[in-house]
Amino acid sequence: MGVTDTDPAREALRIVTASREAGLTLRVMGGVAVSLRCPSAQAPPLRRAYGDVDLAGRSSERPSIERLFEAAGYVPDEEVNLLHGRQRLIYWDPAHGRQADVLIDRLAMCHELELGDRLALSWPTLPLADLLMTKLQVFETADKDYGDIITLLIDHPLGEDDPEAISVERVTELCSSDWGLWRTTTEVLRRTRDHAGSLDLRGIGTFAAAEQVDALLSALDAVPKSRRWKLRARVGDRVQWYEQPEEAKAEPWNR
């Protein structure tokens, strides 16, 4: 399986298919995952180019993940993987000048999301709610991330017990115990609603972006909050509630 594919989405599928055959739980995340799950990602104005391949895996499977990537035609970033491999593994596709990035157990950017126990719930990507939350936790949101959020929301219903639905319970569970994550998520959702209003989305998607955003905001407002959430809410915006990704301890490889 050592010949890499020119197309990032096909390449991501090739890797996770090989991982499944090897009994591993690698899952695709990032924009490529959105393109794999959402038909609207193929239509303007939401269609965009994809570069690197982003995946999530488990620490218990790390040695097997390392062997898988080397068999798949990738070259490890030995310095980064030696120093930070408990959090993240980086591999290079020399044939296409592309990076493959494997997060181990969790995402640590503006906020921290535990992913390890979620990987077995969906294939070939992270579960839709977790995929959405990896985008909503970015406070300084780029246009491509707004686009990915909108794409997820217009292509998938909000609900439970359906692999093609975005689990509202998962979103509210994460935010009801973490005021900082709630603060960022609700802010980014409001900005996403405004961004969607600036796009011509006629003829694509199944659901209205604004209605989906409003439904999530209502659920986030209504869900009971933990004592920890309430204590942090008293402090509010006086203390910064999110990490700058370039400063976060989980990303020392930004070189």
Residues 144 and 92 in one domain: no
**How does pLDDT run across 233-248, given as a tens digit for each residue?**
999 999 999 999 864 4
**How does pLDDT run across 98-135, given as a tens digit for each residue?**
999 999 999 999 999 999 999 999 999 999 999 999 99
| Whole-angstrom distance, CA of residue 202 vs CA of residue 78 | 47
Residues 71 and 9 in one domain: yes
3-state secondary structure of 57: strand
Quick check: 146 and 195 in contact, CB under 8 A? yes
* Residue 63 lies inside a defined structural domain of this protein: yes
Start-to-end CA distance of the chain, whole Å, equals 30
Residues 222 and 138 in one domain: yes
Residues 18 and 114 in one domain: yes
Residues 11 and 35 in one domain: yes
Residues 9 and 107 in one domain: yes
Predicted pLDDT of residue 3: 83
Residues 144 and 90 in one domain: no
Domain boundary among 67, 96, 120: 120
Residues 18 and 72 in one domain: yes
pLDDT at 21 > cutoff 50? yes
Residues 27 and 109 in one domain: yes
Predicted pLDDT of residue 1: 66
Percentage of residues of the chain with pLDDT beyond 90:
93
Predicted pLDDT of residue 246: 63
Read off the amino acid at residue 184: T
Residue 182 exposure: Cα atoms within 13 Å on the Cβ side: 25
Residues 90 and 144 in one domain: no
The residue that leads in pLDDT, 3 or 59, is 59
**How does pLDDT run across 144-198, given as a tens digit for each residue?**
999 999 999 999 999 998 999 999 999 999 999 999 999 999 999 999 999 999 9
Predicted pLDDT of residue 161: 84
Predicted pLDDT of residue 245: 82
Distance of CA 150 to the CA centre of its chain: 14
DSSP H or E stretch at residue 4: none
pLDDT at 254 > cutoff 60? no
Task: State the chain's mean pLDDT as an integer.
Answer: 94
| Domain containing residue 181 | 127-236
| Whole-angstrom distance, CA of residue 5 vs CA of residue 17 | 13
* Total domains, the chain: 2
CATH number of the domain that 46 lies in? Answer: 3.30.460.40
pLDDT at 4 > cutoff 70? yes
pLDDT at 23 > cutoff 80? yes
Residues 161 and 224 in one domain: yes
